[in-house]
């Protein structure tokens, strides 16, 4: 089976889908691995490092896309490259399926089996393939480190003969994978940390990291079967904002990570709340790419409101492209190893398998995933 990893085409992306260590694992399985020349440039990995790991180097992207049995990438494919893929090829990448239906239709029409990395199930079995988690973990870390570098203050308490500096206060809103790592990082740097999430199960996790959980009585809450947050009503959100306002006002750094899977992020910190914060303090909006948790945040911009800065970094994991690529490549290798058929020396497609049911969106010329299948009425027309 021939696997091919093309260079990413997304502007500014420094992460890649395959690193040499993952190539070596795949070659050991019995796969033939090809990577586009210069794939590792952004990581300072030479083509030679990939060949030493057992890959061959392609200087003809279109030909390699057309001959590969499986294409591995980070970002969704440009739609004009879908037609180059071989009928029956497997394509593995992020696909942004809730926002890009034309791409799903193109993949189905091309007879490609598309595995979507955002849809890897949140199960114990699939944890090692979960790219959303591996990347969110780095985003959480980087949100604190980048904010700390721009704050103009320090995070730990310092007691010196020249005086005592109190610890900075960090408030984390949304305690999923990124939020937990943000709390752990801020604690390690010596900050006083508070956090809030609408899922009640999170309280214990926050406390176990030595942070304080902010309590808000929002009535009925909970989480979906996949472990994601449920959407709040407008009244619940308003109640949440009232409590958050007080904690934002006394914080030096506010980090928001509150997302709703497949839907726009809720606006939690309003313009009025931002204006209620001390000049010099910072917000980092990790949800900026899905609409933002902070009113006024802008993708890849620093917005200043009455001396308070809102940092709207997109692609935070890209700021640590080496570990982010290592983890993503490892997620891919784990997925491939899991379904590798030793006798056939190939990836075993099995749309009935529970894990593949979760993440296989197109197969056999159709969109087959329950969440994206054309409605029955569309079928009839
Ligand atoms: P996410 O990125 O979708 O959301 C981040 C956080 O925002 C979540 O904790 C969510 O509850 C919270 N949130 C949503 N609306 C909010 C609001 N109005 N106010 C405050 N917080 C709000 O979530 P995620 O980080 O991808 O993970 C969600 C859960 O799934 C976590 O419990 C995580 O541990 C679990 N998980 C399980 C597995 C597994 O079992 N394999 C893998 C990954 C994640």
Residues designated as active site = 122, 127, 130, 133, 228
Residue 6 in contact with ligand 1 by CB distance below 6 A: no
Residue 277 DSSP class: S
**Residue range 267-322, pLDDT digits in tens:** 999 999 999 999 999 999 999 999 999 999 999 999 999 999 999 999 999 999 99
In the predicted model, is pLDDT for residue 62 greater than 90? yes
Q: Give the tokens for residue 107.
A: 């993949």
**Residue 198 CA, ligand 1 centroid: distance in Å:** 9
Reduced to 3 states (helix: H, G, I; strand: E, B; else coil), residue 61 is helix
pLDDT confidence bin for 147, thresholds 50/70/90: very high
pLDDT tens digit sequence for 157-202: 999 999 999 999 999 999 999 999 999 999 999 999 999 999 888 9
Q: pTM value?
A: 0.93
257 pocket-lining for ligand 1 (C-beta < 6 Å): yes
Q: What is the pLDDT of residue 339?
A: 97
What ligand 1 atom has the least distance to the C-alpha of 136? 25
pLDDT value of position 222: 66
- Say which DSSP state 164 is in: E
The two structure tokens encoding residue 269: 């910190």
- Contact between residue 61 and residue 39 where contact means Cβ atoms under 8 Å apart: no
Model confidence band, residue 219 (pLDDT cutoffs 50, 70, 90): confident
Please report which confidence band the pLDDT of residue 369 belongs to, taking 50, 70 and 90 as the band edges.
very high
How far apart are the C-alpha atoms of 214 and 128, rounded to whole Å? 31
Is the pLDDT score of 227 beyond 80? no
Q: Does 148 or 259 have the greater pLDDT score?
A: 148
Nearest CA to ligand 1 atom 15: 258
Quote the longest CA-to-CA distance of the chain: 80
Whether residue 146 contacts residue 188, with contact meaning beta carbons closer than 8 Å, is answered with: no
**Residue 378 pLDDT > 60:** no
Ligand 1 mean position, distance from CA 183 (Å): 14
Amino acid 230: pLDDT: 78
Q: How many residues does the chain have?
A: 381
3-state class (DSSP) for residue 282: strand
Q: How far is the CA of 71 from the centre of ligand 1 (A)?
A: 29
Average pLDDT in the chain? 94
Does the beta carbon of 330 lie inside 6 Å of ligand 1? no
Averaged pLDDT for residues 218-243: 81
pLDDT for 376: 45
**Does position 145 have pLDDT exceeding 90, yes or no?**
yes
Compute, in degrees rounded to 10, the torsion defined by CA atoms 163, 165, 166, 170: 180
**What's the pLDDT tens digit per position in 22-59?**
999 999 999 999 999 999 999 999 999 999 999 999 99
Residue 218: per-residue pLDDT = 81
């Amino acid at each position: 089976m021939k696997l091919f990893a093309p260079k990413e085409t997304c502007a500014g992306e420094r992460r890649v889908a395959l690193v040499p260590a993952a190539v070596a694992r795949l070659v050991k399985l019995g796969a033939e691995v090809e990577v586009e020349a210069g794939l590792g440039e952004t990581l300072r990995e030479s083509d030679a490092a990939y060949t030493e790991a057992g890959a061959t180097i392609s200087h003809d992207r279109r030909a390699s896309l057309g001959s590969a049995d499986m294409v591995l990438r980070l970002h969704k494919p440009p739609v004009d490259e879908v037609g180059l893929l071989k009928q029956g090829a497997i394509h593995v990448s992020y696909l942004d399926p809730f926002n890009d239906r034309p791409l799903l239709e193109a993949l189905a029409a091309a007879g490609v089996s598309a595995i979507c990395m955002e849809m890897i199930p949140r199960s114990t079995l699939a944890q090692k393939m979960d790219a959303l988690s591996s990347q969110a973990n780095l985003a959480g870390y980087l949100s604190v480190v980048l904010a700390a570098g721009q704050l103009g203050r320090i995070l730990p308490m310092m007691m010196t003969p020249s005086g005592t500096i109190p610890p900075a206060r960090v408030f984390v809103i949304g305690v999923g994978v990124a939020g937990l790592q943000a709390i752990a990082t801020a604690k390690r740097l010596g900050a006083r940390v508070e956090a809030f999430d609408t899922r009640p199960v999170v309280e214990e996790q926050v406390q176990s990291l030595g942070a304080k959980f902010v309590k808000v009585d929002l009535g009925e809450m909970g989480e979906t079967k996949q472990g994601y947050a449920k959407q709040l009503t407008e009244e619940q959100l308003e109640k949440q904002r009232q409590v958050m306002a007080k904690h934002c006002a006394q914080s030096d750094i506010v980090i928001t990570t509150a997302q709703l899977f497949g839907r726009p992020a809720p606006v939690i910190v309003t313009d009025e709340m931002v204006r209620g914060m001390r000049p010099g303090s910072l917000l980092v909006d990790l949800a900026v790419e899905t609409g933002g948790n902070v009113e006024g945040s802008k993708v890849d911009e620093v917005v200043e409101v009455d001396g308070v800065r809102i940092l709207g970094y997109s692609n935070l994991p890209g700021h640590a492209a080496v570990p982010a690529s290592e983890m993503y490549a490892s997620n891919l290798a784990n997925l491939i190893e899991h379904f590798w058929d030793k006798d056939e020396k190939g990836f075993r497609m099995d749309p009935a398998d529970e894990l593949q049911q979760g993440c296989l969106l197109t197969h056999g010329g159709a969109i087959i995933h329950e969440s994206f299948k054309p409605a029955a009425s569309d079928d009839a027309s």
